[in-house]
């Protein structure tokens, strides 16, 4: 659970591939405390991984793996019909690759945040979450597993404890929530909150009060350890800065999740 004066800001980075540039990593990484770096399956490549780790090191952002499905064309956002053993192998392979590049630069991995379809499937099916937790446990028990703060937090927390790993629950400041803790589908109007000041205030309310105002106006009790900030367009940079400003003004310390979990 969030220590009420500390929070982590994470972002998905390192998602360029070859000559194709995606995202604003140079601008985003100085503003965050944890970097989720693509590992070559849904995005990224060895050179991009190395460069992104270097950027994170330079700006004191903790490094984490962002493993996805082997689906470059679909950017890892399409569900795949695979076995738990295959998911475990995919996750292990990708963490291992990023771990190697990090070690060369003298860094240890802090966390693992599954990407796209794997992330969503793990929230909907705890057996998939357990498969990922098992992979982390066998590889490095110091790794923190990032999961959506939502309907089944207690169950996910119990599974993580069973495998001897830490879990970080994640909040999306710019997404609308349903009363059950799930995210409002992007197909619905109002699913993405485009007013930066409103999104920043939502982040502050969650950190300070453990509450989120849902789409229907109801109040959802929610705690999280890290806030996801997407920085793949110039407008998103304004959101990240707004969140940082409102949190710091309120005396909230923005630090890597590994320092307080």
Instruction: For residue 106, give the CATH number of its domain.
Output: 3.20.20.370
Asked whether residue 178 is assigned to any structural domain, the reply reads yes
- Flag whether 1 is in a domain: no
Q: For residue range 167-190, list pLDDT tens digits in order.
A: 999 999 999 999 988 889 888 998
Measured CA to CA in angstroms, residue 219 lies from 209, 211, 213, 214 at distances of: 11, 6, 5, 6
How many domains would you assign to the chain?
A: 1
- The CA-to-CA distance between both ends of the chain, in Å, stands at 8
How wide is the angle at C-alpha 72 spanned by C-alphas 188 and 9, nearest 5°? 60
Summary mean pLDDT of the chain: 95
Task: Tell me the per-residue pLDDT of 81-107, one tens digit each, with 9 for 90 and over.
Answer: 999 999 999 999 999 999 999 999 999
How many residues are given for the chain?
261
Whether residue 253 is contained in a domain is answered as yes
Question: What pLDDT digit, counting tens, does each position of 11-60 carry?
Answer: 999 999 999 999 999 999 999 999 999 999 999 999 999 999 999 999 99
At 191 the three-state DSSP class reads coil
Domain carrying residue 67: 6-259
Residue 248 lies in a domain: yes
Split at pLDDT 50, 70, 90, the class of 209 is very high
Residue 255 lies in a domain: yes
Asked whether residue 126 is domain-assigned, the answer is: yes
Question: Does the pLDDT value for residue 3 go beyond 80?
Answer: no
Does 84 reside within a domain? yes
136 pLDDT tier (thresholds 50, 70, 90): very high
The answer to whether residue 92 is domain-embedded is yes
Question: Could you please report the per-residue DSSP string of 27-71?
Answer: HHGGG-SEEEEE-SSSS--HHHHHHHHHHHHHTTPEEEEE---S-
């Amino acid at each position: 659970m969030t220590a009420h004066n500390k929070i982590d800001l994470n972002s998905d980075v390192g998602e360029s591939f070859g000559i194709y540039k995606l995202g604003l990593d140079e601008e985003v990484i100085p503003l965050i405390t944890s970097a989720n770096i693509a590992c070559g399956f849904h995005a990224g490549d060895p050179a991009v991984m190395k460069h992104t780790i270097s950027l994170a090191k330079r700006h004191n952002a903790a490094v984490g793996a962002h493993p996805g499905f082997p689906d470059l064309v679909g950017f890892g956002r399409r569900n795949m019909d695979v076995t738990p053993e295959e998911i475990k192998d995919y996750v292990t392979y990708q963490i291992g690759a990023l771990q190697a590049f990090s070690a060369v630069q003298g860094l240890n991995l802090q966390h693992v945040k599954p990407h796209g379809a794997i992330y969503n499937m793990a929230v909907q099916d705890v057996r998939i979450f357990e498969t990922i937790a098992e992979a982390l446990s066998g590889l490095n028990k110091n790794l923190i597993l990032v999961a959506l703060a939502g309907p089944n937090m207690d169950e996910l927390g119990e599974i993580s404890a069973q495998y001897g790993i830490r879990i970080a629950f994640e909040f999306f400041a710019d997404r609308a929530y349903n009363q059950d803790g799930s995210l409002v589908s992007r197909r619905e109007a109002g699913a993405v909150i485009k007013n930066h000041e409103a999104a920043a205030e939502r982040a502050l309310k969650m950190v300070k009060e453990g509450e989120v105002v849902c789409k229907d106006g109801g109040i959802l009790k929610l705690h999280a350890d890290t806030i996801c900030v997407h920085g793949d367009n110039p407008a998103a940079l304004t959101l990240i800065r707004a969140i940082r400003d409102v949190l710091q003004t309120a005396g909230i310390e923005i630090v890597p999740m590994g320092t307080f979990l």
